A and B are shown apart, each in its own frame.
Chain A
């Protein structure tokens, strides 16, 4: 038996904090800029690199992955070492993790304004950067699990559970959603198309929120809140229930981003009900945070750290109530595509992530530099500026979202649209855009004050690394075998644990509910209730008898814990993704819009992606009369089967574009791209005049068709070979039309390509003979196949 001194690696923690604060300022400043662009279009500055649609992905990526990412790593590195009583396993891996992550951020900051993007929200980075993310994430995982392996604390504290869930799940999400076929080092196409791509994207997108912005921060809450409050954590059993419920349920909730779209009804319903069931597990985390302060609420008055942490947890509670609410189909019908969603995510990002970060930084930095916080008053001022900023932001977005949602659907007594002109609904909410800009800017000012305060604090002290002393006991072989009671080997205890058996039994029965007849379903539901009741009784008896809990067992076995977490998150993903991807054939493969894009349309589509049009325009008309009156027929799943990637969008700052094809003449599109206000007075769309100057890469056309061919799009080899000729022919029809109206553009200009794409939306390729008479398109009764015309050509 001897004593061992352990010095923690806090240098890495300091580095991550610095990076988080710096990139936080950048990310929020870009946020304030894009907010101003929505209120004043002139702020787009007329150049591609500062245009809203390219900067919005930069803002989201910077805030999520650079600000929160670095903050999360700082918190994880600091708390993990202390909770496991060991230094991080490898300083080298820590260094690679830190510098690799910063390089990825720099690559993102350069590539996104250049328009190098996959257009999948919060996963816009192109494939080489995606690969780098994978490598760095694996480095982080190795470092983390290696540290777990050499820990000096037998059982894992709840914070560590959340870190495990984060590492495992983000890896799965990132890899699946990034699957793409590269065309060049800077361009790739999602292997999924249309509905499948949408589902995979929002399974990822929603769980990026869950497992990047929520679970790691919950872990951080579980460490830093009781530390700062010097109070015990409220309830261990609440930790268990809310952790396992959260990781199991969260992963199912993705389809709530796709309610009333062309996604099959069953998947939508799963997304909705699992979101509703997330309410309590999310609030479990909030409760364990808030109730930890029980008996110490007075501390809130004097300690800015606690102010931030408690307000952060409170915003978490608000956001996780609003989330399930917005997931209810009828609420989503109103709120989806509006600013309500933007307000919702910012109550999470600014309130939860931003305030938890601030609380953690104000607590950590003085300790990391062996000194006191430079200015408590400044921290208090930051708190109030931030809080008022968030409230202005949220309230303005509520008003704006609900106003616009109601205006979109408002009808005259005869059932016609009260506001048929989209711009009217935009002008109505413009004041709210200004309020939002003010609120966001206040938040940014507070954040900059924090940066200054932390800097002064660090300068006043000097870097110190934490340390601890542990008592290392020599291995005690005598106690190990204990032959009398002959306990089963650990892994057998894990897999035969009662909670696991019951969970498997209940899940198995539930699975059959998916396709049961009503009567049988009732029997199955009864069986679930009985099983649950039985499980509850047994658990209680075990606890009263003082038997060691199965959860305690797996909390001492990181491998078993990790595997179980992985299984828990895979169930929901597999249940939703597999049928949708496998049942590809079930999508009726006919209909007008079914013929693959022409080469020029494909080139134009890439420009639509590059410019980020999806950040403001949807291509998904929902089955509401108000939408079909405004935009045209309901969008159907089979219309998107060649869309690699899908472009359904998630926000309508501008109108839906799915049935734009043929609505306006080419000249309208030209005029509109050069100066949107010339055709749509009052619009806040940025101008895109460079499209008329820049040229497409003519030679890419056959390459793109060949790549699409490999993805399963039915182009013939002749199509590929003839792509350049066909491309030019279609372009010249458009340039000739524009020329008759006095507009001269080069046939290979980007403008011509994007017009070709926009004119094709919602109908067939425009350079092929018109298909046979279009039957009235009521869902379920589709016009006969027209793919034949493509093959016959």
Chain B
């Protein structure tokens, strides 16, 4: 192809040929242009596809459907779970990964309060603890965990917390809140 007749010009000794454009290159060029025109037409002119918040709404609905199988927590259920060693193992794992940094590896309290004493800031009943874990206490800097961990892991970690309750780990943080009213 690069025969002498194709020489376009010469600059500082650099010859410039004028070969044809390779067909496969032209194919990429035109395909990408046609794709782009089609994309713009589909999403922004015909508005046939969802925008990003539309996609998000659909995804949210899908995930909500998947999560709907979960039974709501109750005192009895949590107390039963607190005797299930499988649940307690997973609860302990969740605790070590997410809670130990603030409440200590034994729940003795560091940044957050001691979970092993008899004092509770928001109530010590199974459901009271569950509510604090699930929804958090924004004013005190306790994160809401249900959105991140999901309902099952919140139940498991609550069950695990019920087993820590009253273990009074030595060297624990000074009590905060009220003694539990039984």
Comparing B49-57, B77-85, B114-122, B126-134, the segment that makes contact with chain A is: B49-57
Please, which residue of chain B has its CB at the minimum distance from the CB of A417?
B148
Please, which residue of chain A has its CB at the minimum distance from the CB of B136?
A663
Query: A541: CB under 8 A from chain B?
Result: no
Q: Which of B25, B98, B102 is within 8 Å of A421, CB to CB?
A: B98
Query: B182: CB under 8 A from chain A?
Result: no
Give bound CA distance, A82 to B10, whole Å.
Answer: 12
Query: A779: CB under 8 A from chain B?
Result: yes
Contacts of A668 in B (CB 8 A): 102, 111, 141
Q: Which of A233, A238, A265, A665 is within 8 Å of B21, CB to CB?
A: A238
Contacts of A455 in B (CB 8 A): none
Query: A678: CB under 8 A from chain B?
Result: yes
1/0 per position for A76-89, CB-CB distance to B under 8 A?
00010011010000
> 8 additional contacts, CB 8 Å, given A83-B11, A235-B18, A280-B32?
A268-B52, A277-B32, A415-B63, A420-B148, A424-B97, A521-B41, A663-B143, A665-B111
1/0 per position for B98-125, CB-CB distance to A under 8 A?
1001100000000110000000000000
A226 touches B53 (CB 8 A): no
Contacts of B15 in A (CB 8 A): 226, 232-233
Give bound CA distance, A741 to B140, whole Å.
Answer: 13
Most buried by A among B15, B67, B150: B150
Given contacts A634-B56, A668-B102, A679-B101, contact A236 B11 (CB under 8 A): no
- Distance between B170 CB and nearest chain A CB, rounded to angstroms: 19
In chain B, residues 144-166, which have Cβ atoms closer than 8 Å to a Cβ of chain A? Answer: 147-153
- Distance between A222 CB and nearest chain B CB, rounded to angstroms: 8
- Distance between B42 CB and nearest chain A CB, rounded to angstroms: 10
Please, which residue of chain A has its CB at the minimum distance from the CB of B55?
A623
Contacts of A269 in B (CB 8 A): 39-40, 43-44
Please, which residue of chain A has its CB at the minimum distance from the CB of B154?
A416
Most buried by B among A83, A234, A522, A671: A234
Give bound CA distance, A13 to B64, whole Å.
Answer: 64
Give bound CA distance, A226 to B46, whole Å.
Answer: 48
Query: A412: CB under 8 A from chain B?
Result: yes
B interface residues, Cβ below 8 angstroms from A: 2, 7-9, 11-22, 25, 28-29, 32-33, 35-37, 39-41, 43-46, 51-53, 55-56, 59-60, 62-64, 66-67, 69-70, 97-98, 101-102, 111-112, 136, 138-143, 147-153
Query: A284: CB under 8 A from chain B?
Result: yes
Number of A-B contacts (CB under 8 A): 186
B60 touches A625 (CB 8 A): yes
- Distance between B105 CB and nearest chain A CB, rounded to angstroms: 10
Given contacts A280-B25, A424-B97, A679-B101, contact A521 B45 (CB under 8 A): yes
Those 10 A-B pairs whose CB atoms lie nearest each other, nearest first: A416-B150, A665-B141, A623-B56, A232-B15, A273-B36, A280-B29, A415-B66, A415-B63, A157-B11, A236-B8
Contacts of A268 in B (CB 8 A): 52
A-B contact pairs, 11 of them (CB 8 A): A233-B16, A234-B17, A283-B25, A414-B152, A416-B67, A417-B150, A420-B148, A513-B45, A629-B148, A664-B111, A665-B112
Please, which residue of chain B has its CB at the minimum distance from the CB of A264?
B51
User: Secondary structure of the A side of the interface?
Assistant: helix
Please, which residue of chain A has its CB at the minimum distance from the CB of B15?
A232
In chain A, residues 470-527, which have Cβ atoms closer than 8 Å to a Cβ of chain B? Answer: 513, 516-518, 521-522, 525
Contacts of B37 in A (CB 8 A): 525
B17 touches A779 (CB 8 A): no
A interface residues, Cβ below 8 angstroms from B: 79, 82-83, 85, 153, 155, 157-158, 223, 226-227, 232-239, 241, 260, 265-266, 268-269, 272-274, 276-277, 279-281, 283-284, 287, 291, 294-295, 324, 411-417, 420-421, 424, 513, 516-518, 521-522, 525, 623-625, 628-630, 632, 634, 662-668, 671, 678-681, 741, 779-780
Give bound CA distance, A239 to B14, whole Å.
Answer: 14
Give bound CA distance, A417 to B143, whole Å.
Answer: 16
Give bound CA distance, A155 to B9, whole Å.
Answer: 10
B2 touches A234 (CB 8 A): yes
Given contacts A284-B25, A662-B141, A668-B102, contact A235 B45 (CB under 8 A): no
A238 touches B141 (CB 8 A): no
Please, which residue of chain A has its CB at the minimum distance from the CB of B141?
A665
Contacts of B9 in A (CB 8 A): 155, 236
